[in-house]
Structures are given as structure tokens and as C-alpha cells.
Structure 1
Amino acid sequence: MAGGTGAGLVDGAGVAERFDPFGDAYQQDPPAALAEARRHQPVFYSPLLDMWVVTRYHDIKAALHDSRRFTAANALEPITPLGAEAREVLDGYGFAPGPVLVNEDPPRHLPRRKLLAPPLAAPEIEPLEGRIRDLVTGYIDAFADRGHADLIQDLVWEVPAVVGLLVAGVPEEYVAQARGYAVKMGLFTWGRPTGEHQREIADQVGRWWTLAGELVDLLRREKGTGWIPHAIEMQREHPDVISDNQLQNMMMSGLVAAHETTTNATANALKCLLTQRDAWTALCADPSAVPNAVEESLRHSTSVLCWRRRTRAAVTLGGVRIPAQSPVLLMIGSGNHDADVFPDPERFDIHRPNAKRHLSFGIGSHACLGAPLARLEMRIILEELTRRPPGLRLVPGTTFTYPPNASFHGPLQLPVEWD
């Protein structure tokens, strides 16, 4: 195991022993929790996770680019190993997680990506702006006369779920059911559930697996529009490149990416803006700054704090030798606060000139296909909220809580009020 090699590299300051991605310090301020590591021990072995942790921007970028020395095969493995009872529950549903774009390597990865990418490209997504804006304004209409709202429950939880499922091609009558299952996948992959909770989540994941298969079959018969119908058509033309198992896994993992990450990214952006009132006031005065504010929010408070790779052979990263076949945790949220790339990184600056250099959508051949859609949704939501309701502000004394999740990160509540 990696632990036998890594233990001797833990320094006296105890960076590795203190690292706990499920602890309160990390949940409240993930980049700050790794500030000491960035300065003094940017690559270290975590005995808690039995993983090597990488905290600086250029090391993370190098690993994401290097498919020769790092494999993506472990990207979707549960960070908390499943117990025997949870595995038995999944086996009962015939759950068969297979490679999708996020966890496969060359040479298979690029041909499949080229076939699947077109419906999510920016030119295909931009015509959805009017429909998404109508959806957003409709949700705002529902609470605009109330004087108070929870922006998570009343807006940013709802919009990405509806948009993501519709872009995927899921019929509207299945949206609510599919959304409920898709949320469980984030905790399944990145959470730390107890044994009993693992069994409960495994049952929900199994049900989602079953529904995903049924939805693929439905879309194959009815030939709708959207990402999954496009993938089905690509399978007809290239059956050697896209399998039934991949379609079913795409339905599952794609909807998690479309919903939870965009919800959290938007919630984080609103939290940053509303807790730093000068930024919100400036944005309301000049909505043309919204696109760069979106990028700065993604940099400052990313919704995807970390991602994974595994070394194919022994490698040296950040001056530290990592053994072969070692799991590596790439701390994207920490890399986005690397002072060598982003001066004064803790400062939230909606006019930061290089904000878009963030790593929040990945980089290289595994860069997130859904980035144009996420950016569009975030921009529209911020634009509409800068218009109304007037005087929008956080409820005084608000404290923020987060789900115990090592990667998917966003506040559970965002209570606001206005006059």
C-alpha cells in the first residue's frame, strides 16, 4: 500500500496527520485548511485516506495533463471503501460501474469524447439562454414578493437540476425522480457514510442504476433530443466505441455533474458576493462584470475541491517520490489559491484579470464537457439576482453548514432578505 512508503515523509509540523477532508476546518474553508501544506509540504501522504495529496497549482496541472504516468481509472471509486453489505446491495441491482469519459484513459478516451462532445459545446448551449432565463425568472417570481428566501432551496437547487436533466434528454415526467437519485451519487463517491448509511445509499444508487437503464431504453425507442439521445445515435453509428453499459453509466454520472456541481458552484458564488458586500454592490452597479465574477467565484470557492488519479509507475511530483500504483488526490480548491499563480489568492476580486486560469473544470483531455452549460446557468442566475429583488442581503448572523463531502462543496442554506 502507499502508506508504507509515505509515512516516513510526514514532517514535524504534522501537515499530513491534521489533514481531514471531512473535518469542520476543511469544510468551512478548504483552501485555508491546506495553506500550510502549500507553503511547506505541497505533496504529502495522508494516512487517513491512504492517498498522496497534491496541493499546488502546477503539480496538479501536470498530473491532470500526464496520462502516460497517471491513470484516471480511479476517478469515480468511492473515497470511503464500501463495506460488504453495501456491495451486496449493489450486486442485487446488477450495478456495473464501467468507464465513462471522466475515468478512462487514452487511447479509448479521445475517440469517445469526440463523438459525445458536440451537444455540450458552447455554440449548441448558447441558444438555450432564453429558456434558462425564463426558468430562472419564474423561480424568482415565486418568492420576489415574500421579502425573504433560501436561495439554495428556492432557486439554485432547482434550476441546474431541471436544466441538466432536460439537456440530457430525460422526459420531464422523470425529472423529479431522477434528480433525487442523482444527488445520492455525490455522497456515494465523495462522502464518508457509516456502514448503515452506506447500505441506504447503496440502495438508492441501485435504484438509480435501474432507472438509468430504463431511461436509456425509453430514449432509444422514442428518439428524443439531448445529450443521451445523441449518444444513442452515436452508438448506432459506432457500436465498437460506445456500449450499452457506457450509456447507462453516462446517464448516472452525467446528471450528477450537471446538477450538484452547478448548484454548489452557484451557491458558492452567491455566498462570496453577499458576504463581501462591496463586491455585490459593484456587480449590481455593473452587470457586465458578471462573466468574470463567475470565473473568480469558480476560482475562489470551487464546487469540486479535489479529483483523483493513480500513478502507473513511480513518479516524482513537487520534489516528492510517489510509489507506483498509488492513489493521488489532486486538491483543485487548494491549487486555485496558489499565490504563485493568483496574487493575494484569498482576496475575492470580481475583476481579477487571470481568474479564468482556475482548475475547477479540469484541464486537457478530461476538461469538463459541461463547462459551457454551467457558466451559462451561473451567469443568468447572477444577472437576474442583481436586478431583483432590490437590496438583496444575507440574513444577519447566518452561519453556513456543508455536507460531509471531500470534493463536492457548497452551503446547504443561503437565507436572504430584502426590504
Structure 2
Amino acid sequence: MTQTQSGCPMSFDPFGEEYQQDPAGALAAARAHEPVFYSSELDYWVVSRYADIKEAFRDTRAYSAAIALDPLTPLAPEARERLASYDFAPGPVLVNEDPPLHLRRRKELAPPLAADEVAKLEGRIRDLVTRYIDAFASRGHADMVDDLLWEVPAIVGLLVAGVPDEDVERARHYTIKMGLFTWGKPSAEHQVEIADQVGRWWRLSGELVDRLKREPGRGWVPRAIEVHRQDPELVNDNHLQNMMMSGLVAAHETTTNATANALRHLLAEPGVWQALGEDPSLIPNAVEECLRYSSSVLCWRRTAVREVVLGGVTIPAGGRLLLVIGSGNHDERVFPDPGRFDIHRPNAKRHLTFGVGSHNCMGAPLARLEMRIILEELTRRLPGMRLVPGQEFTYLPNASFHGPRHVLTEW
């Protein structure tokens, strides 16, 4: 099971420098010769082609989402003890549960994240982005991650969740640790540090839910609290706390990474930044190409419910799958010349970055709105912005959540 068709073991390290710098390139050989292969190091079946990834997402009877939020690196006993000291009780939320419960909950919880509802926030988001740009526009240089992208999606995510403004500041500092907890490869010592932060975020999530129960508002979590009161079996207290905890991570880190990736590549292409400033109608499709070309979510996971055949390979019941979205988005069977960054690509929106099927990301309309507004305001205000020459782009050693730590710019 560990052999490729050529008789050589297929090597794959999702924490290595090759994958971090060029995720699609790291799996080019797999896409060409062994699109589904078993990694003994990870104990996962790695899936690299678009069609196979899409099939695993869509077929919820054959593939379970239950492991989607499990730590990719097993936790050391000390880390588990630290989490237990916080009464950490992870439970199923929309992203890691299966039908029919998933579909029932999604139907009830989705309305606040619908595109028409999210569109009502455009003015507030644009005002927020403008204030941040005002703080550095006259300076002539900025780190787009530290000065803009780290904070704005966090604040927007908390606002959409319904968190009161006065709690935004303390809540946003915890979300980065969840990405490392789920997708990283920390040492046993680092796991304890991360577990402590996750535990603190768990407690704060519970406090925020309790506050929203006492002081009703508008947003995703207040909607869930309303459902909880009407049907406490469908949405219980544990679900509310897990919703608050995981939902804000998804709203924050993935959008931060997606926009940082976008700026890196848009500014690297000669003439593209100027073209977007001259014709903002190009920005929505440019956003889709950025999401395809440099996915902010590189992979996702499923478990085979029964023995299945995927990509011509038999996967046993209970086999764990790593669906490498960042590879599927560069599958030449779907995207001609996939290594070329093209803001005019006609089928860019077919990317897998937001998933497909019943687990398609509910936050996609919000992410698209934020990215569009940020690009509209930056190209309008800073038409001469460029990347600082010679900088190196570095990434956290993380198998899925992917974006440069810094994007240094000047104008």
C-alpha cells in the first residue's frame, strides 16, 4: 500500500520547507503518477487530484468528516492533562459532523452568514479597513500582515459572531494557537504551551456565550442561542461553546492568510496591481484566482466509513484521508497551465478552497467580501504599492492553514 506505481515509496512531508513554499509543486509527481497514496509517516491516505478530492467531499455516506478538527500530531500526555485542567470538552460542530445532524444544524445556523446578510456589513468593514490604512498610508511602508491583515479579519469575525465590541480585543489574541493545535507539528513542550492557550480560549469562549445569553444581540452565535432555546437537543451548551471557539478561528486566520497570499502574488505580477486600481471590476475574479493559486486552506480530512476505491486505490474502512486542496487547485485536468497566475482565468471560481457539497464553507461570502474591500481600498489609496525587494516569505510549519507571516510593502 505504500508503493507508487513505479515501485518507489511516495514521500510527503506537510511540515517541510518544500511543501510550505510550494504546496502544489511538492505533490506534482503524485498528481501525475500516484494521485492517491498511503503515507506511513502520517498514517493518512494522501489525495492530490481535483476529482478525487471533490468526490471525497461530496460522498458523505462513504467519507465521514468526524476527524476534521482532530490534532494532526497526536497530543502528548502532558498536553492532554493541561487541556483537562481547563475542562476542555471538544464536541462536534458543523465542520466535523455528518448527516443527518449536520444538515439539520446547518439549516438552522446558516442564515446570518448568507450572502445577502453579510452584504449588509460592507459599510462597517470598509470603514474599518479605511481606519487601518489611514494609520500607515503616510508612512510610505507597511507590513500588510502586522499592520492590517492580522487585525481586521479578527475584528470582523467577532462582529459577525455577535461578540460585543468591548470583548473583541481580548478574544482575538487566542485564535492563532488553534491552527497550530489542529494542523501543526509542535514538540511535546510546545504542545503544553499551546494547550494552555487553547484552554484559555475555551474558557473565554464559554464566558462570551454566557454573556450573549444574558445580553441578546445579532449575529451567528446569538442566532445559535436562539435555536438552543427552541431546541436544546439540536444545539446544546457544549455545541455553543465549540461554535464560538472554532468559528472565530475559521473567520480570522483563514481570511488573514488568504488576503496575505493574494497581496504577495498580486504585487509580484507586473502591471496587475495597476490594472486592478484602474478597473476595480477585475477584483472579484482576481480574488478567486488568488484563492485557487495560493490556497489559505491547503488540506482537509475525512475517514473512510467503509472500504472504498478512490482514484483507483482501495482504501480500507477506517482509513484516514488527507485531501490536499492546494494540490487539487493546481490540477491541470481542471485548470489549464495551473502554475500561471492569471486574474482573468475564466474558471478560477471552481477552486476547492471553500470545499464543496454539504460542507461548503458557510463563511465564504464573508471572506470574499473582506478580500474585495481590502483590495479595492488598497489599490485606490496606494496605487504605487510594491513588494519590498529581496524579502523572504516564511510560513508557520502548519499542514493546512497557509499564509506568509509578513508581507513587506512600500510606496
Query: Same fold, TM exceeding 0.5?
Result: yes
* Aligned mates of 1:348, 1:143 — CA distance in 2: 29
Task: Note if 1:72 corresponds to 2:65.
Answer: yes
Partner of 1:41: 34
Equivalent residue number for residue 243 of structure 1 = 236
The structure 1 residue matched to 2:338, chosen from 340, 345, 353, is: 345
Residue 7 (str. 1) matches residue 2 (str. 2) = yes
Say yes or no: does 1:328 pair with 2:321.
yes
Quick check: 1:279–1:349 contact (8 Å CA) kept in 2?
Answer: no
Q: Percent identity?
A: 70
Deviation string 1:256-280 (CA, Å, 9 cap, x unpaired) is 0000000000000111101112322
Cα offset for 1:67?
0.8
> Could you say what secondary structure the match of 1:349 adopts?
coil
Match of 1:56 in 2: 49
Q: 2:186 aligns with which of 185, 188, 193?
A: 193
The equivalent of 1:362 in structure 2 is 355
Aligned match of 2:286: 293
SS at 2:138 equivalent: coil
SS of structure 2 residue aligned to 1:309: strand
CA RMSD, Structure 1 to Structure 2 (Å): 1.0
- Aligned pairs for 1:307-318 (under 5 A) are 307-318=300-311
Mapped pair 1:266 → 2:289? no
Of residues 150, 153, 166, the one that matches 1:173 is 166
CA contact (8 A) 1:10 1:45 kept: no
SS in 1 for 2:83: helix
Corresponding letter in the other structure for 1:99: P
CA contact (8 A) 1:72 1:103 kept: yes
> What amino acid is aligned across from residue 372 of structure 2 in structure 1?
R
Cα deviation, residue 249, structure 1:
0.2
Classify the secondary structure of the residue corresponding to 1:52: strand
User: For 1:7, what is the secondary structure of its paired residue?
Assistant: coil
Give the drift of 1:389.
Answer: 1.9
Task: Using the TM superposition, give the Cα deviation of residue 225 of structure 1 relative to its aligned residue in structure 2, in angstroms.
Answer: 1.4
Match of 2:149 in 1: 156
TM-score (norm: length of structure 2): 0.98
The 8 Å contact of residues 9 and 45 in structure 1, kept in 2 or not, is answered as no
Q: Give 2:275's aligned residue.
A: 282
Quote the Cα distance in structure 2 between the aligned partners of 1:7 and 1:152.
40
Please, which of 130, 138, 146 is the counterpart of residue 137 of structure 1?
130
Name the aligned partner's letter for residue 291 of structure 1: P
SS in 2 for 1:416: strand
Tell me which residue corresponds to 1:3.
none
Alignment partner of 1:226 is 2:210: no
> 1:100 is matched by which residue type in structure 2?
V
Unaligned runs of 5+ in 1: 1-5
Q: Alpha-carbon deviations, 1:386-411, whole Å to 9, x = none?
A: 11223100001111000000000000
> How far apart are the structure 2 equivalents of 1:411 and 1:253?
22
SS at match of 1:390: coil
Q: How far apart in 1 are the matches of 2:368 and 2:304?
A: 32
Q: Match for 1:323: what amino acid?
A: P
SS at match of 2:241: helix
The letter for the 2-side match of 1:210 is R
Question: What is residue 297 of structure 2 aligned with on the other side?
Answer: 304
Task: Note if 1:403 corresponds to 2:400.
Answer: no
C-alpha distance in 1 between matches for 2:228 and 2:347: 39
Q: How far apart are the structure 1 equivalents of 2:3 and 2:268?
A: 42
Q: Report the AA paired with residue 72 of structure 1.
A: A
Confirm whether residue 98 of structure 1 aligns to residue 107 of structure 2. no
What CA distance in whole angstroms lies between the structure 1 residues aligned with 2:8 and 2:64? 31
- Aligned partner of residue 60 in structure 1, secondary structure: helix
TM-score of the two chains, using structure 1 as the length reference: 0.97
Aligned partner of residue 38 in structure 1, secondary structure: helix
For the Cα contact (< 8 Å) 2:277–2:383, is it kept in 1?
no
Deviation at 1:9, TM superposition (A): 4.9
AA at the equivalent of 1:7: T
**Number of matched residues?**
411
**CA drift at 1:316:** 0.6
**Per-residue deviation, residues 360-380 of structure 1 (Å, max 9, x unmatched):** 001111010100000000000
Structure 1 residue 127: Cα displacement:
1.0
Question: How far apart in 2 are the matches of 1:353 and 1:82?
Answer: 43
C-alpha separation in 1, matches of 2:42 and 2:326: 18
Deviation at 1:237, TM superposition (A): 1.1
Residue from 99, 122, 127 that aligns with 2:115? 122
C-alpha distance in structure 1 between counterparts of 2:193 and 2:177, whole Å:
10
Output the CA distance in 2 between the equivalents of 1:146 and 1:390.
15
In structure 1, distance between residues paired with 2:336 and 2:273: 21
Alignment equivalent of 2:102, drawn from 106, 109, 116: 109
Q: Distance in 2 between matches of 1:8 and 1:145?
A: 57
d(CA) in 2 for partners of 1:20 and 1:225?
A: 43
In structure 1, C-alpha distance between the alignment counterparts of 2:100 and 2:352, rounded to whole Å: 24
